[in-house]
Structures are given as C-alpha cells and as structure tokens.
Amino acid sequence: MKTYELLTVFKPTLDAEEADKAIEALGKSVTALEGKVDSTDKTGRKKLAYEIQNFRDGFFVTSKISLPESNVAEFKRQLKLNDNILRTMFLAK
C-alpha cells in the first residue's frame, strides 16, 4: 500500500455534525477500498482565494491515508461524486 495526503475542501454550509459525518463517510470509503486512514486534521473554515460554486470560504480537512494503488482511481471517482466537496488535492507521499 502506498501513502497519500488528501486535502479536502467541504462546503461551508455544513454544520459541525454534518462535516464530521462527511469526514467519517470518506474514511468508510477508504476502508471499503482496502485502505486505512492514518490521521485526520480538521483545519477549519478558511477564506478561499477565489469563488468556487458561489462560495467564498470552505471547511478544510487534511487526511493521511494508505491505499492500494489499484484502488486510487475508484477513490478519486468517489470524491468527484460527493456533493459536499468543493475541491480536493490528492498527493502521493
């Protein structure tokens, strides 16, 4: 398994409970793809450099995950389908 870092920007309309559920759902999808979440850092709400989908700020979360290389494409596809996510940055460590 390879280690990755995932920066996720969630919509600012999510309250604390909904954000936690969205983060937990990401963890479950990683587990379903035979990976594991090593750590999660909730940076919090920050102002965006430019407007994304008419939002000026977002809720930032950084996760370190381990995932088999064969399942990375499916995980990225699931991230794109999630309506609560504005942007992601997926980096190999």
Model confidence pTM above 0.85: yes
pLDDT of residue 89: 96
Among 19, 11, 4, smallest CA distance to 63 is for 4
- Containing domain of residue 64, as a range? 2-92
Q: Which residues pair with 89 in a beta bridge?
A: 7
Q: How many domains does the chain have?
A: 1
Residues 38, 36: Cα–Cα separation, whole Å: 6
Per-position pLDDT tens, the chain of length 93 = 899 999 999 999 998 899 999 999 999 999 999 999 999 999 989 999 999 999 999 999 999 999 999 999 999 999 999 999 999 999 998
pLDDT of residue 16: 86
| Whether the Cβ atoms of residue 6 and residue 90 lie closer than 8 Å to each other | yes
CATH number reported for the structural domain that contains residue 60 in this entry = 3.30.70.60
